[in-house]
A = this chain, B = another copy of it.
Amino acid sequence: MNRFVKFLIVIMVLFSGCISTNDNSVSEIKSEQVSDVLYQVSTINALMESIYDGFVPVDELVTHGDFGIGTFDKLDGEMVVLDGICYQVKADGVAYRVENVTTPFATVTSFENDETYYLDNMNISEFESYFESKFPSKNMVYAVKLTGNFSKMKTRSVPSQEKPYEKLVDVVKNQSVFEFENVSGTVVGFWVPEFMSGLNVPLYHLHFITDDRLAGGHILDFEIDSVEASFDTTPEFYMVLPTSGEFYSMEFSDNLENDLKAVEKQ
């Protein structure tokens, strides 16, 4: 994987100037209206069942929140929305800033710190247990944001799919994995209670974007060097289901729970 990190560094140097020119132009979020709402496109189970056709444009998505995660039409990469800007981390490991694409599955909110902690030298399991213990309730949704330096960060992305689509549990067998060392960036994601499984990923679902917004992906593992970690309690939930296409005729499998564990942590 070190070869890939070197490749990324080259890409970062080449493109950092032109990508960072107009970072603040997309976001015009009225945060007071959407701050407590998790806005969700479709369901995680639909994504598991290979419903990959996007139906909500990203420029509409970001009017519902400046912070979030998801994927893109044809499952083309991992989404990170941060400060109202949508990034597409493709299977080549590069984060592209995008507006004119659609999403088949995403969750966003307007992030406002409720509580902030300064954490050093923790692996992902230690972080997850510690941070969960700070949540005021296990029956609530939290937006989770970590900004700082990671001694290790392991992410993945998936390539654009062609019809007939394979199931997500099979697609991730060919995922691209990226490993970073001593990388600065932001973890963007959510913690969702168990009673919402079927709709969203239960417990943590975290994506990553580097400080220079040039790389990232769906997080498989990390080790914290030193970060500022915040959460935003989000008691309202607004879900929009597809009103046409394959979602309408889909028959859900019984075994999605086990498949989801394989997809999230493989």
B241 adjacent to A239 (CB under 8 Å): no
What is A's interface to B at a CB cutoff of 8 Å? 43, 45-46, 136-140, 194-199, 233, 235-243, 247-252
Which residues of chain B have C-beta atoms less than 8 A from A136's C-beta?
Answer: 248
Instruction: Select one of B195, B239, B249 contacting A237, CB under 8 A.
Output: B239
Q: How far is the CA of A239 from the CA of B37 in the complex (A)?
A: 9
What are 27 of the A-B contact pairs (CB < 8 Å)?
A43-B195, A136-B248, A137-B247, A137-B249, A138-B251, A139-B247, A139-B248, A139-B252, A140-B241, A140-B248, A194-B252, A195-B198, A195-B199, A196-B198, A196-B199, A198-B198, A199-B199, A233-B243, A235-B240, A235-B241, A235-B242, A235-B243, A236-B239, A236-B240, A237-B239, A237-B241, A239-B239
- Copies of this chain, count: 2
Least CB distance, A245 to chain B, in whole angstroms: 10
Q: How far is the CA of A237 from the CA of B197 in the complex (A)?
A: 15
B252 adjacent to A195 (CB under 8 Å): yes
Which residues of chain B have C-beta atoms less than 8 A from A199's C-beta?
Answer: 195-196, 199
